[in-house]
Amino acid sequence: MKNTVVVPYTGTPEQENELKEWLIENKDMQGLTMPALQKAQEIFGYLPRAAQTIISEHTGVSLEELYGIATFYSMFRLYPVGDYKISVCMGTACYVKNSQNILDKLEVLLKIKEGETTPDGKFSLESCRCIGACGLAPVIMINEDVYGRLTGDELEGILAKY
Amino acid sequence: MYRSHVMICAGTGCASSGSAKVAEAFAEAIANQGLSDEVNIVKTGCFGLCALGPIVIIHPEGTFYSMVKVDDVPEIVSEHLLKGRPVTRLLYDETVKEDEIAGLHETPFYKKQMRLALRNCGRINPELIDEYIAFDGYQALGKVLTEMTPEETVQLITDSGLRGRGGAGFPTGLKWKFARGYDADQKYVICNADEGDPGAFMDRSVLEGDPHVIIEAMAIAGYATDASKGFIYVRAEYPIAIKRLNIAIEQAKAYGLLGDNIFGSDFSFDITIKLGAGAFVCGEETALMASIEGGRGEPRPRPPFPAERGLFGKPTTINNVETLANVPQIILNGADWFRSIGTEKSKGTKVFALGGKIHNTGLVEVPMGTTLREVVDEIGGGVPGGKKFKAAQTGGPSGGCIPIDLFDVKIDYESLAEAGSMMGSGGLIVMDEDNCMVDIAKFFLGFTVEESCGKCTACRIGTKRLYEVLDKITEGKGEPEDLDILDELCEYISKNSLCQLGMTAPNPVMSTLKFFREEYIAHVVDKVCPAGVCKGLLSYSIIADKCKKCGLCTKVCPADAITGVLGKEPFVINKDACIKCGACVEACKFGAIVRK
């Protein structure tokens, strides 16, 4: 991970219980590990060690193996992200329409590099694979909002909305 | 009964341009005019012309409104729906003729298309099973369960010549026959909806626009192969598709079209959705199964093939979304009907996601054998901005770039392979003279390096080395010998990798080396990037005579690399400090800054 800031664990007992209850409820599911990690990330926003420990205890899958799975898939994250996650689409359609330029400009505007979070925890910046809005290339996503047909000039105005 | 239907695209493309708000505005405006009992609003799947979204089509006239904004809606409602006068300024301009409004199917974008897999996309509300049934939905399942044996079903699909649409083009009927041939207490059908090619969104559009067709086809495949359980492995990045699949499965269960004893037969079938978590390699079938089983999605050697030992060690049939979308119609219309479409070895149609430097970005479906020229120039409307077409990329990270010399290549499995590319899942990205082919090859290799699962050495280390050489070339540090190293590495990786991801990873490099070798040579010998993309080979300078000494360039320079005296001395770029972002070129109103 590029961002090596150590984040203290802030999970609540309620969150932990929610995960435990889900694990008990679904204990007979075939191929439980991935859905369990997905559920944990949905609850905590990322995969803190505490959550992985809970999953390991309930499924019998070792922490090492869970770590192997969590780092294999790009959607799992071991660190929390900012309140607003900016994803710059780097799919082919966006790339040939110069999405690299959009990413460069955002790095300058936010003063962080791709994969990092602003010190105030507000924005995190990452590149992502195709989000399927190729007709609107180049595209960025800020949480659920999609902004397309970008030239770069509008980025400052877009960031100001958040 | 409604007299008018307002079809609003709720696919990802249009949703991203705000179609949900447009739909709300229609509901409000229609209610305000007291037309709620006469006009029906239908949120549909993708119409294909994503570039012009949000798209609204009003039936029965078939009037096609493009780029509709919330503010336009009251006018459309009061003029078109109330008074019967189309709002000309909002019409898709290709449909506007001198004295009439042309039908959509006469426009260049739609004229050469043939929508089989996408047949219901944009036509029905994907969240209502009754609309699917109204267009012959679940009839094919009823037919196979009540009139055909599983063997006859397999034979029909074999006879139709249907081949896998995920890229490799394996005959679907043969796949079913293999799975049928193994006895087991449990067999599975998997729908591969892990559409991972960057720049491809055909499968997503089918899932969003016509989810029931996948359920019906999976049940048919289950019947044909004696499988009672199905899994849909879908990317978690596709929230709309997942939501609609869940709705569709619940509805099918409620109607008895999934579950026990479907149509009163002995056949029972259930479907579970499994979410991917962002790993391109999981599109490979053995990796996909490993992922459903809950672990790292790493491929394993074949044989044994999934038909013999697949998911949880049981015989498994894996078909791609678009492949399945063709199945019910083949059952209903017969193998001969399907065989009549396409070329000798490639039957039916293929859906492409058109993107990149092309006018009509969006989704198109054409009969196999249509030429690349027809798709890019006629359907796609050509390259915008008066720029020159340079290459079309098909097959994503596993495919290649097709140059203008091969513009008349037929789109079918064999012809594309001969041209050094592949059908792939259906991404078709157009590039113009401003795109550097070395940079594009590096882009795809960067993707493969990240997505290589790391299991086999050829792919894990080979793609990394390949990337490093390309990076060196784009940085301006390449040597002529590097091209030989590229050739050698490509051959090694493609021959020694474990799975298709690795075997095909060198394709973007090989095809660009073959067709655009002079561009590589320009990078390594002349040290220039002809397209002006590779930053390491560019330099910026200010022409003193043209400089008006306004200082605008210093304001936009993020690196403080430009110095001068306002109004007195021409400005100068400090080449060591310059990060080559190009901001100054854009800012200069007098064309005084040049990039070389």
Instruction: Check pLDDT > 80 for residue A8.
Output: no
The pLDDT of B32-37, averaged and rounded, is 94
Q: What angle do CA A104, A161, B11 make, to 5 degrees?
A: 80
Residues of chain B found within 8 Å of residue A30, distances taken between Cβ atoms? 292-294, 312
- For residues A89 and A135, membership in a common domain is answered with yes
CA distance B330 to chain A (A): 28
Find out whether A97 and A105 touch, Cβ atoms under 8 Å. Answer: no
A141 to A85, B396, B402, B407: CA distances (angstroms) = 8, 22, 31, 35
- Report the distance separating Cα A32 and Cα A122, nearest Å: 33
Task: Write the CATH number for A141.
Answer: 3.40.30.10
Q: Could you tell me the fold of the domain covering B4-104?
A: Glutaredoxin (3.40.30)
Is 1.20.1440.230 the CATH number for B437-526? yes
Identify the residue whose tokens are 């991972």. Answer: B196
Highest mean pLDDT among B8-17, B479-488, B583-592: B479-488
- For residues A143 and A88, membership in a common domain is answered with yes
Q: Is any Cβ of chain A less than 8 angstroms from the Cβ of B334? A: no
Instruction: Check pLDDT > 50 for residue B457.
Output: yes
Instruction: Check pLDDT > 90 for residue A135.
Output: no
Find out whether B438 and B512 touch, Cβ atoms under 8 Å. Answer: yes
Selection from B236, B242, B246 nearest residue B277 by Cα:
B236
Band the pLDDT of A6: cuts 50, 70, 90: low
Tell me if A31 and B297 make a contact (CB, 8 A cut-off): no
Q: Is any Cβ of chain A less than 8 angstroms from the Cβ of B562? A: no
Is 3.30.70.20 the CATH number for B539-595? yes
Report the pLDDT value the prediction gives residue B539, as an integer from 0 to 100: 85
CB-count exposure of residue B100 (10 Å: 0-12, 13-18, 19+):
exposed
Identify the residue whose tokens are 């009927």. Answer: B173
SS3 B480: coil
- For residues A66 and A111, membership in a common domain is answered with no
B65: amino acid identity, one letter? Y
Tell me if B17 and A136 make a contact (CB, 8 A cut-off): yes
Band the pLDDT of B16: cuts 50, 70, 90: confident
**Nearest residue, CB atoms, A31 vs list B50, B292, B430:** B292
Domain-embedded: residue A92? yes
- For residues A89 and A147, membership in a common domain is answered with yes
**Long-range contacts formed by B313-316: CB under 8 A, 24+ apart:** B314/B184, B314/B185, B314/B186, B314/B187, B314/B188, B315/B179, B315/B182, B315/B184, B315/B187, B315/B188, B315/B225, B315/B227, B316/B179, B316/B187, B316/B188, B316/B189, B316/B190, B316/B227, B316/B289
Per-domain boundaries in chain B: 4-104, 129-338, 349-432, 437-526, 539-595
What CATH number is given for B129-338 in this structure? 3.40.50.11540
Report the pLDDT value the prediction gives residue B238, as an integer from 0 to 100: 87
Q: Is any Cβ of chain B less than 8 angstroms from the Cβ of A103? A: no
- Report the distance separating Cα B261 and Cα A31, nearest Å: 27
Tell me if A73 and B279 make a contact (CB, 8 A cut-off): yes
- For residues A93 and A155, membership in a common domain is answered with yes
Find out whether B352 and B427 touch, Cβ atoms under 8 Å. Answer: yes
- For residues A95 and A41, membership in a common domain is answered with no
CA distance A142 to chain B (A): 12
**Mutate: best of A134, A142, A143, A154, partner B, most B CBs <10 A:** A134
Selection from B581, B67, B557 nearest residue A98 by Cα:
B581
B523: amino acid identity, one letter? H
- Report the distance separating Cα B196 and Cα B204, nearest Å: 11
Task: Give per-residue pLDDT as tens, B252-299.
Answer: 999 999 999 999 999 999 999 999 988 999 999 999 999 999 999 999
**Nearest residue, CB atoms, A133 vs list B12, B291, B435:** B12
Task: Give per-residue pLDDT as tens, B47-97.
Answer: 999 889 899 999 998 899 999 999 999 999 999 999 999 999 999 988 888
Residues of chain A found within 8 Å of residue B274, distances taken between Cβ atoms? 31, 34-35
**pLDDT greater at residue B431 or residue A116:** B431
Share of chain B above pLDDT 90, in %: 82
Report the pLDDT value the prediction gives residue A3, as an integer from 0 to 100: 46
Instruction: Check pLDDT > 70 for residue A4.
Output: no
Band the pLDDT of B1: cuts 50, 70, 90: confident
Tell me if A97 and B295 make a contact (CB, 8 A cut-off): no
CA terminus-to-terminus distance, chain B = 65
- Report the distance separating Cα A78 and Cα B80, nearest Å: 54
The pLDDT of A73-97, averaged and rounded, is 89
Tell me if B429 and A31 make a contact (CB, 8 A cut-off): no
Tell me if A135 and B50 make a contact (CB, 8 A cut-off): yes
Tell me if B13 and A130 make a contact (CB, 8 A cut-off): no
Report which secondary-structure segment, H or E, holds B9.
Answer: strand B4-9
SS3 B76: helix
- For residues A32 and A64, membership in a common domain is answered with yes
Highest mean pLDDT among A144-153, B103-112, B189-198, B206-215: B206-215
The pLDDT of B475-504, averaged and rounded, is 96
CA terminus-to-terminus distance, chain A = 26
Selection from B222, B214, B277 nearest residue B248 by Cα:
B214
The pLDDT of B158-166, averaged and rounded, is 96
**Mutate: best of A41, A72, A76, partner B, most B CBs <10 A:** A72
Q: In what order do the strands lie in the sheet with A140-142?
A: A123-128, A84-89, A140-142, A145-147
Selection from B209, B293, B292, B220 nearest residue B258 by Cα:
B220
Chain B: residue nearest A130 by CA?
B198
Band the pLDDT of A1: cuts 50, 70, 90: very low
- Report the distance separating Cα B335 and Cα B158, nearest Å: 8
- For residues A98 and A148, membership in a common domain is answered with yes
Residues of chain B found within 8 Å of residue A35, distances taken between Cβ atoms? 274-275, 294
Report which secondary-structure segment, H or E, holds A89.
Answer: strand A84-89
Report the pLDDT value the prediction gives residue B213, as an integer from 0 to 100: 98
Domain-embedded: residue A45? yes
**Long-range contacts formed by B111-114: CB under 8 A, 24+ apart:** B111/B378, B111/B379, B112/B366, B112/B370, B112/B374, B112/B378, B112/B379, B113/B48, B113/B364, B113/B365, B113/B366, B113/B379, B114/B341, B114/B349, B114/B365, B114/B366, B114/B367
> What b-and-e string marks burial along B160-169, b requiring 16 or more CB atoms within 10 Å of the CB?
bbbbbbbbbb
Report the pLDDT value the prediction gives residue A146, as an integer from 0 to 100: 86
Domain-embedded: residue A79? no
- Report the distance separating Cα B547 and Cα B570, nearest Å: 6
Instruction: Check pLDDT > 90 for residue B103.
Output: no
| Domain interval for residue A30 | 13-72
Identify the residue whose tokens are 């979410």. Answer: B275
**Mutate: best of B50, B208, B439, partner A, most A CBs <10 A:** B50
Collect all residues with Cβ–Cβ distance below 8 Å to B104 and sequence separation of at least 6. B57, B62, B64, B92, B95, B110
- For residues A93 and A152, membership in a common domain is answered with yes
Instruction: Check pLDDT > 50 for residue B185.
Output: yes
- For residues A90 and A154, membership in a common domain is answered with yes
The pLDDT of B9-38, averaged and rounded, is 93
Residues of chain B found within 8 Å of residue A37, distances taken between Cβ atoms? 277
Find out whether A139 and A131 touch, Cβ atoms under 8 Å. Answer: yes
ipTM of the complex: 0.86
- For residues A94 and A141, membership in a common domain is answered with yes
Q: Is any Cβ of chain B less than 8 angstroms from the Cβ of A110? A: no
Domain-embedded: residue A155? yes
Identify the residue whose tokens are 């008074």. Answer: B83
Identify the residue whose tokens are 């949000």. Answer: B54
Domain-embedded: residue A42? yes
Domain-embedded: residue A7? no
SS3 B72: helix
Tally the domains of chain A. Answer: 2
The interface residues of chain B toward chain A in range 182-201, judged by CB-CB distance below 8 A, are 196-201
SS3 B563: strand
- For residues A60 and A90, membership in a common domain is answered with no
Band the pLDDT of A42: cuts 50, 70, 90: very high
Residues of chain B found within 8 Å of residue A68, distances taken between Cβ atoms? 296
Tell me if A129 and B198 make a contact (CB, 8 A cut-off): yes
The interface residues of chain A toward chain B in range 70-89, judged by CB-CB distance below 8 A, are 72-76
> Encoding tokens for residue A39?
């559920």
Q: Is any Cβ of chain A less than 8 angstroms from the Cβ of B294? A: yes
Average model confidence (pLDDT) across chain B? 94
Q: Is any Cβ of chain B less than 8 angstroms from the Cβ of A109? A: no
Task: Give per-residue pLDDT as tens, B534-572.
Answer: 988 988 889 999 999 999 999 888 888 999 889 888 999
For strand B540-542 and strand B400-403, is the pairing parallel, antiparallel, or unpaired?
Answer: unpaired
Q: Comparing A132-136, B27-31, B464-468, which segment has the lowest mean pLDDT?
A: A132-136
Tell me if B53 and A135 make a contact (CB, 8 A cut-off): yes
Domain B349-432 -> CATH class: alpha beta
Report the pLDDT value the prediction gives residue A7, as an integer from 0 to 100: 65
